[in-house]
Structure 1
Amino acid sequence: MALVAATHAEYIKLTSTRSPYWCVGVVAVLSVGIAALLGAVAANAAGDTGLRVPDYLLGLNQFGVVVLMIMAVLAVTSEYRFGTIRTTFVATPQRGRVLVAKAVVFGALAAVLTALLAALSLGVAAVLTPASSNVSFSDSVALRQIWGTPIWALLCVIVGVGVGALIRHTAGAVVIILVWMLVAESILAVLPKVGPAVGPFLPFRNGSRFLNAAPDADAYHWNAYVSLGYFAVFAALVFGAAIAVVRRRDA
């Protein structure tokens, strides 16, 4: 019951502030907008454009998920910024339960939202993309995008909550996530000698590989489903570390 109460409190916070609505709007525009843009490009091109189903969800799986992670970070850091975290911990002395409640609420939002947007974006792309482009929107790859994207988004949000709780400062947490996810892993993966050794073990590349079927799949030591499990373990470790630190650190 205590977790239910904490989850309800987080739901009230979610629905009573403006930033989540803006984040949802941005994710929707990025997802559907980029899918429609690529569909229009395919419609105006002659023959196969080289685009595949994961490309049409670039706006959602890459940029949109980053926005959702930032939203998860804000769910934690904004409370530290305005001092409301003390009231939250007084109401729920089990501090780990507060983080779990945040992960449940924002993770559920991310999963439901991305499932709907994945289906909608692929639907828009299917309408605009001509048959001559040789793209199938009903095969196993497309279906994996629809059910796999919510899992990817959920795990990324859990990482966002964890990083937000560990760092406590919005700017620092956001920079760490952006640099780590979009810059550091990409650079490490292409470094001579170092890249082939560490690339298959980079967490975000493993999570992204599950959806995108990376062309360098042979470089990994396991299949795409194990890559998803690898990223899930990483998310659990970050979240577990956040709970341990929050329990010991002053608010």
Structure 2
Amino acid sequence: MIATIDSERIKLMSTRSPYWCVAIVAVLGLGLAALISSGGPVDELTDNPANVYLLGVNQFGLAVLLIMAVLGITTEYRFGTIRLSFEATPRRWQVLVAKGVVFAIVGLVVTFVICLLGLVIAKLFAGDDFDLTSSDAIRQLWGTPIFIALAMLIGVAVGALIRQTAGAVTIVLVWTLLVETVVIPLLPKVGEPVVPFLPFTNGWRFLTGDTGDFHWNIYGSLVYFALVALVILRAAIAVVNKRDA
């Protein structure tokens, strides 16, 4: 398994798209942190300013990193290199798990660094209006990387299930940017009882610290999001094991 993980790491680092994606996330994360914090206090808009300062990571950066995770496997199907991966590692589940581990670690490390720098930048601009040592800020610092790492697992799993880049990217973007944030919450009668079970909504709830009408607390929301990510990855493994490469 270690050799498979190392192989996936080499694959990832040998292509240009991850570097571009990370650069975009860095620009979004740090740029928005500076822009929002320099615009004046945000305390009137939210009880968790740290989450607002990191919108470039936990919202827009999330979309970019999901695309990166999807590309990590759909491009292998596109160019047929996935067959070589499965021939080298006959237990296909190991390939998917290795990809998930590599992308999750990359997402976690990159996000942690950007969040740390973003919060420091926000403190420099906002000054006394922002407490860098508050419990909410600390939760953003460790919680956002975990949220992104779990999201990367979902990206890899969706890519393995769909296999086509355009379709998989469309699904993850529509899912996160439209379905969970706009469509379902606005559905009459159906939306309200369904919202507490939406995976990304639970992840965002953990980051915002929202104590709304859910069936569990914010840490339960993080656990729920993690379980959904693992279930989707397990489903992808089952499908990949049954069909041709």
- TM score, norm. by length of structure 1: 0.93
Where does residue 241 of structure 1 map in the other structure?
A: 235
Instruction: Report Cα offsets for 1:70-103 as digits up to 9, x if no partner.
Output: 1110011000000111111111111110001111
Corresponding pairs, count: 242
- 1:185 offset after TM fit, Å? 1.3
- 1:128 offset after TM fit, Å? 0.4
Q: Distance in 2 between matches of 1:127 and 1:190?
A: 38
Does 2:223 align with 1:229?
A: yes
1:105 corresponds to which letter in structure 2? V
2:192 corresponds to which letter in structure 1? P
Runs (5+) with no aligned partner, structure 2: none
1:50 corresponds to which letter in structure 2? L
Where does residue 55 of structure 1 map in the other structure?
A: 52
1:169-180 to structure 2, matched below 5 A, reads: 169-180=164-175
Q: Distance in 2 between matches of 1:156 and 1:122?
A: 21
Identity of aligned residues (%): 53
Q: Distance in 2 between matches of 1:50 and 1:70?
A: 30
Where does residue 155 of structure 1 map in the other structure?
A: 150
Where does residue 202 of structure 2 map in the other structure?
A: 206
Runs (5+) with no aligned partner, structure 1: none
1:107 corresponds, among 104, 123, 126, to 104
Q: Distance in 1 between matches of 2:100 and 2:204?
A: 20
1:78-93 to structure 2, matched below 5 A, reads: 78-93=75-90
Instruction: Report Cα offsets for 1:150-173 as digits up to 9, x if no partner.
Output: 110110000000000000000000
1:23-38 to structure 2, matched below 5 A, reads: 23-38=21-36
Where does residue 118 of structure 1 map in the other structure?
A: 115
Instruction: Give the match's secondary structure for 1:198.
Output: helix
Change (3 A) 1:130 1:74: same
What stretches of structure 1 move > 6 A for 4+ residues in a row?
none
Does 2:196 align with 1:196?
A: no
1:180 corresponds to which letter in structure 2? W
Instruction: Give the match's secondary structure for 2:38.
Output: helix
- 1:48 offset after TM fit, Å? 5.5
Q: Distance in 2 between matches of 1:222 and 1:23?
A: 34
Instruction: Report Cα offsets for 1:14-56 as digits up to 9, x if no partner.
Output: 11110010011001001000000012212xx7x9553611100
Instruction: Give the match's secondary structure for 1:34.
Output: helix
- 1:69 offset after TM fit, Å? 1.1
After superposition, the CA RMSD in angstroms is 1.3
1:135-146 to structure 2, matched below 5 A, reads: 135-146=130-141
- 1:190 offset after TM fit, Å? 2.6
Tell me, yes or no, if the aligned pair for 1:196 and 1:219 is still in contact at 8 Å: no
Where does residue 218 of structure 1 map in the other structure?
A: 212
Does 2:90 align with 1:96?
A: no
Q: Distance in 2 between matches of 1:223 and 1:27?
A: 29
